Structure 1
Amino acid sequence: MLRLQRGRRVCLRTLVLLIAVPLPERWATQTEIELQPLKGSDRFMRNRRMKKWILLVLLGLQSGAVLAEGNCPPGFYPIGGKGVQGCAPIPQSGAGSQQTAPAAPVPTGEWETRWGAIAEDSGSMTTGVSTSRKSKEEAVSAAVGQCTKMGGKSCKLRIAYFNQCVAIADPKMDSAIKRSVGRSSANSAATEKIAKQDALKRCSEFEGGQSCDIVYSACSLSEFRPYR
């Protein structure tokens, strides 16, 4: 059965041409003779010649269909095995096919380090602090200066830290003398919560186990500075 598909236009065109082209004179004469009533061996020979003619036409149609199905538009090539046909684009070669690498992102700024410090006068327990300074020297100088202004006679650096948080834990105040008795602890950590936890834990381990409170906490975290 002939199907009207794109790949079989050649088959239909071939069939039309076979029908439209007139038969040679010898074939026409032979056809007229074969149209006459025949018997016996003549009828057998006529049927045999007709079968050969039909077979040749069918073979021509089939070969034409195969050629038509293998055609692809410009820039494509046939793919697929027997019974499965398709077209795929022809791969491009050369510099034109190379993909350009994406441009590297342009930085808009940078993260700057920030320092903090704590200074104390151990005799009077006077304390000075500083946060968010651009250098360690600046942070220490500010903390010692504050301690001195508050009455400290011998203010010294207790702890300096950068891009972190800090906490101080002191022993609980003795109500009789109105001051803390024991050792305090100063600890730095990534977050203020962790710094407080570490300071309390360490303070409670001094003097055979003492009760402590957080008396100071702060952070000096890195700050982003845009270029524009």
Structure 2
Amino acid sequence: MKQLLPYLPLLFVLLVHADARAEGRCPDGYFPIGGGSAGWEGCAPMGPGADGAQEPEPQLETRWGAVATANGALGVAAGMGSRESAEQQAMSDCQAQSRDKNCKLQIAYYNQCVAVAWGDAGSLWARSPDVQDAEETALSNCQQKTTHCDIYYSACSYAERVQ
């Protein structure tokens, strides 16, 4: 028995160990609340960036684009803060290039891409979340209606992170 006496503290620690936890009895990413004279105990999550706590989702602002055409003239806008500003920019751009100023708004779009294909009988457009898909669709639409089609314009107006 004398030989076991020095090992008793080690044996006691091995038999009566506690589950290791951060911040007292709370799991990682939480801190203890209550206790003492409150009569209750609990755990609350730590703020953003603390031990695995998730960051809040970024806030995004919609971005608009527009396309206007007239007798071979093309007016465009991309990355605008409102539909109205995109439409006004596209119409103004078109009228600056058109002799007869007879521009017509073709499309206003937001948080996506647009492509304009032009052929012998005029223009056709398509929109999509992906610029390559928009170009392929616009070209296909154009080829179904006329000949000698090619992509004349493509752009994206993706949502932007709020500062």
| Structure 1 length-normalised TM | 0.52
1:143-170 Cα offsets, whole Å, 9 max, x none, are 1111112234211100111111111111
Aligned equivalent of 1:160, options 108, 122, 127: 108
CA radius of gyration, larger in? 1
Aligned equivalents of 1:225, 1:211: Cα separation in 2? 42
- Per the alignment, residue 51 of structure 2 pairs with none
Pairs within 5 Å for 1:3-42: 4-6=3-5
Please give the root-mean-square deviation of Cα atoms over the aligned residues, in Å: 3.2
- Per the alignment, residue 155 of structure 2 pairs with 218
1:196 aligns with 2:131: no
Pair 1:206–1:95, CA change in 2 (3 A): same
Code of the residue aligned with 1:155 in structure 2: it is C
1:169 aligns with 2:117: yes
Aligned equivalent of 2:46, options 84, 102, 105: 102
Stretch deviating more after TM superposition (214-223 or 103-112):
103-112
Pair 1:115–1:206, CA change in 2 (3 A): same
- Per the alignment, residue 141 of structure 1 pairs with 88
> Structure 1: 5+ residue runs without aligned partners?
9-67, 74-84, 172-180
> Structure 2: 5+ residue runs without aligned partners?
20-24, 26-32, 36-40, 49-53
CA contact (8 A) 1:170 1:212 kept: yes
CA contact (8 A) 2:72 2:122 kept: no
How much has 1:89 moved relative to structure 2?
A: 4.2
How much has 1:141 moved relative to structure 2?
A: 0.7
- Per the alignment, residue 187 of structure 1 pairs with 126
SS in 2 for 1:205: helix
Aligned equivalents of 1:109, 1:86: Cα separation in 2? 48
Aligned equivalents of 2:137, 2:18: Cα separation in 1? 67
Normalized per residue, which structure has more strand? Answer: 2
How much has 1:205 moved relative to structure 2?
A: 1.6
1:25-65 Cα offsets, whole Å, 9 max, x none, are xxxxxxxxxxxxxxxxxxxxxxxxxxxxxxxxxxxxxxxxx
CA contact (8 A) 1:164 1:190 kept: yes
The number of aligned residues is 139
| Structure 2 length-normalised TM | 0.70
Code of the residue aligned with 1:111 in structure 2: it is L
CA contact (8 A) 1:183 1:206 kept: no
Pair 1:95–1:7, CA change in 2 (3 A): farther
Aligned equivalent of 2:61, options 112, 122, 128: 112
% identity of equivalent residues: 31
Runs of 4+ in 1 over 3 A off after TM superposition: 94-97, 104-109
